[in-house]
Amino acid sequence: MTDTVSGPLPPTSLEEPVERIGVIGCGLMGSGIAEVSALAGCQVTVVASRPASAERGRDRITASLDRGVRKGRLSREQRDAALRRLAFTTDLDDLRDRQLVVESIREHEQEKLELFAALDRVVKDPAAILATNTSSLPISRIGRATTRPGQVIGTHFFSPVPAMPLVELISSLDTEETVHEQARRFAEDVLGKQVIRSGDRSGFVINALLIPYLLSAVRMVESGFATPEVIDRGMVLGCSHPLGPLKLADLVGLDTVVDVATALYQEFKEPLYAPPPLLMRMVETGRHGRKSGQGFYAYDT
């Protein structure tokens, strides 16, 4: 549990460095965001839904840092310092003094809306940035769940967060330009990421292009035209992609692909965004890809 903060908090200014970070969710994405923030020198409070989830998140981050030490990317001192900057809790109130909170729960709109309404009550600094790591949902709808939509922004990280250099920043029509600038400086100057700016529509830049490609590969398997192995080998060798579309879908998580595709279809009503029945059945039966041990390929868990 983090230390309790009492009394009013001074508002964060644009010039003040962002050092107190909150991360909600400690699955693959949330733990990755927490890890890179702690390595960058930030004090990070991670909120999990249950104590067991917090423990798994701590173990995941520790294992990732240990790999960095073994591979020579980190020193033992950097690893230990990052772990000291991390605190885990199940109490949302422990985020009350944060300058930036990044939500990274599952891609479910109603859950995100309820969470941001709660964050609006909890986080005391009126200038604090409330960020969502959504990969598909419009930022304007999430911002309108709060009384401060100008402080809400999309920060779309990519998995695995420690290795992937990109962050998509998405401002809604309500997001203040100073908030976008502060979020950009945090992502670039503190975390060392590269930033692209996207307009506020479902899928943003990357997933609006990526998801139809992944779904086309699924439909090719579904029709019996080609196997996952043939499709992936063809795209790697023929198009110089580092990973074929079915292995990439497994890595992203087939449940996440369905969630993003559904959000895109709801917004645009384009058939190319509709998740194919094969993909729906796989997710319904627990075949979520690499994280579950079974997707279009089998994995050791």
Among residues 168, 171, 172, 292, the one annotated as catalytic is 168
Among residues 35, 53, 156, 202, the one annotated as catalytic is 156
**Distance (Å, whole) CA 270 – CA 263:** 11
Concerning whether 135 is annotated as a catalytic residue, the answer is: yes
CB atoms within 10 A of CB 146: 20
75 labeled part of a ligand binding site:
no
Residue 197: φ, ψ to 5°: -100, 135
Concerning whether 156 is annotated as a catalytic residue, the answer is: yes
| Rounded to 5°, angle at Cα 73 from 68 and 74 | 70
**Distance (Å, whole) CA 58 – CA 158:** 20
Residue 90 near residue 56 (C-beta atoms within 8 A): no
Residue 74: φ, ψ to 5°: -130, 150
Longest dimension (CA), the chain: 65
Residue 109 near residue 143 (C-beta atoms within 8 A): no
Residues 6+ away with beta carbon under 8 Å from 96: 5, 9, 122, 123, 124
Residue 243: φ, ψ to 5°: -145, 140
CB atoms within 10 A of CB 31: 28
- Chain center to CA of 64: 17
135 labeled part of a ligand binding site:
yes
Among residues 104, 135, 172, 202, the one annotated as catalytic is 135
- Taken as a whole, the chain contains a residue count of 301
Q: How far is CA 236 from CA 172, 241, 247, 254, in A?
A: 36, 5, 11, 20
Residue whose structure tokens are 């595709």: 261
Residues within the annotated binding site? Answer: 64, 71, 135
Would you please indicate which residues are annotated as catalytic (active-site) residues? 135, 156, 168, 207
Residues within the annotated binding site for CoA? Answer: 64, 71, 135
